[in-house]
Amino acid sequence: MSKNTGLNAIEMKFLRLSLGITPAQVAELSKSTEADVMAWETGEKPVLGLAAKKLLEIDEIIEMQVLNTCDGIEALFSKEPKRQLSFVVYSNQASYAQYNPEFVGSLPLSELYNTAAWRIKKECKLVLEVEVSLVALDVEAYKAYREKEGLKESREIRAKWAATQL
């Protein structure tokens, strides 16, 4: 990887921080060790080009998702005047993988999905003046809600449950 297209130590560190993940998670994503990641970030070892590329790709996927979701929300609010919205996020990997498996391929960690959600919240407020609340899925409370209302599990029902949490 040429010097100009790669990332240097401090760039790699702040890219990782902006994604909300740990050195151990970068190691997992790039099939390296945590010690390697620390060495890249302190400049002891040159940053592995493939690892930088992986994180940049993820950042791009998140930015695309922010754009697409905000477009969707804008379309929604062209019909409804409601200016408050809830967005389900996942406080651990198990619930993320169970309830949101379609994202695990592109955003493998719940932290990456939540980072996208945070950016969506910011962008919606700034650009659309829509207040988005991130609602961490409470698996037990969600199950109880579905049982009480006799509802099957789906993205829509999750969103409905989240709206009851505002």
3-state SS class at 13? helix
- Burial class for 44, CB neighbours closer than 10 Å (0-12, 13-18, 19+): exposed
Burial class of residue 137 (count of CB atoms within 10 Å of its CB; 0-12, 13-18, 19+): buried
Smallest gap from Cβ 152 to a second copy, in A, equals 26
Residue closer to a second copy by CB (options 27, 151) is 27
What is the Cα–Cα distance from 162 to 99, expressed in whole angstroms?
14
Q: Which of 34, 38, 45, 59 binds a second copy (CB under 8 A)?
A: 59
Interface with a second copy, residue 67, by CB under 8 A: no
Residues 82-111 touching a second copy, rule: CB under 8 A, are 84, 89, 91, 111
Residue 116 to residue 120: CA distance in whole angstroms = 6
Q: Among 109, 121, 124, 142, which residue interacts with a second copy (rule: CB under 8 A)?
A: 121
Residue 31 or 125 having the CB closest to a second copy: 125
Residue 68 touches a second copy, criterion: CB under 8 A: no
By the 8 A CB rule, do 161 and 142 touch? yes
Residues that bind a second copy (CB under 8 A): 4, 8-11, 14-15, 17-18, 20, 43, 59, 84, 89, 91, 111, 114-115, 117-119, 121-122, 131, 133-136
